[in-house]
Amino acid sequence: MAKEQRGLGKGLSALLGDTADLSQLRKPVGYVNKEVVGTKESQGTADILRIPIDMIEPNPFQPRMTFDQEALEELASSIRTLGLIQPITVRRKDSGKYQIISGERRYRACRLAGMDMIPAYIRDTNDQGMLEMAIVENIQRQDLDPIEIAMSYERLIEECDLTQEQMADRVGKKRASVTNYLRLLKLPAKVQHDLKVGILSVGHAKVILGVEDPAIQESLCDEVIKERLSVRQLEEKVRALNNPSKPAKEVKQQELPDEYYKVLEHIGKFFENNISLKRTSSGKGTMTIRFDSDEEVKKFLAALEESKL
């Protein structure tokens, strides 16, 4: 028996709230701080450069021959509003022009959007080891945003023909961490944009991925920014969305002793207050800490060792 598809339902607005217009916060990502191709002698394969659109040629060996025009128009509209979130990849030709390796759909949408420059990775060597080294070196930079990290992981997998496990070994990360970053690229462009410019955290994005509908993902993103929701509050909203037929049980909130609040206050400041504590009447309980990066744990450990708690 086919599973009945759930609609958004009348309760969606009650769960998400009436989101305000956040367009003022979302400026197009134009990579305006990146070099324009040809302005310097040495151009790396790991960083992003801007290329005049007339210097880019489609790949004649592109296996995809047809592109949905309506979908291209939608992508072009998104690019006009948010910029191109994921740069294309090109290779340098003897003629001085650049040929698309991956991203022809994005290239076509950029033309429709009227862009005169396109952000791109330039791959100018067939030496797989050199390319891999350049991308790994780029990942080690401290100033990369979550989407740049995810795109670098994707490049290692696609262009260097690595599995996720092999790639995780190359960059010194756990496979689960790599998988979580790659999942960010499945989010709608608007959500990726907010991650990129820092108005949405990776912790929030992971929770948003718990909902499959892109429209609801965007609404949740708006709600997080508008209401400054914590990760825990967002989890509760997603839980309610995923289980609309199960009304939340009325749970009597037990008052915690003062010392418990002190624990929450002192430890919570190291993890942006993403900490919860449950206690039974007998005094047994659990404390849960959610962290967004290794750096948060390191700062907490340093504070413990220096007895700053």
Q: Which of 35, 104, 154, 227 is catalytic?
A: 104
Q: What count of residues does the chain have?
A: 309
What are the Cα distances from residue 273, in Å, to 149, 184, 296? 25, 23, 12
How far apart are the C-alpha atoms of 184 and 176, rounded to whole Å? 13
How far apart are the C-alpha atoms of 213 and 231, rounded to whole Å? 19
305 classed as catalytic: no
The angle, 0 to 180 degrees and rounded to 10, between the axes of the packed helices 69-82 and 189-197 is 20
What are the Cα distances from residue 240, in Å, to 60, 216, 248, 277? 49, 13, 8, 21
Write down the residue that tokens 């690595």 correspond to: 162
Write down the residue that tokens 């002698």 correspond to: 41
How far apart are the C-alpha atoms of 110 and 290, rounded to whole Å? 39
Run of H or E including 40? none
| 247 phi and psi angles, rounded to 5 deg | -65, 140
**DSSP-derived secondary structure letter, 187:** S
Dump the DSSP string for 35-48: PBTTSSS---SSSE
Query: Which residues are marked as active site?
Result: 104
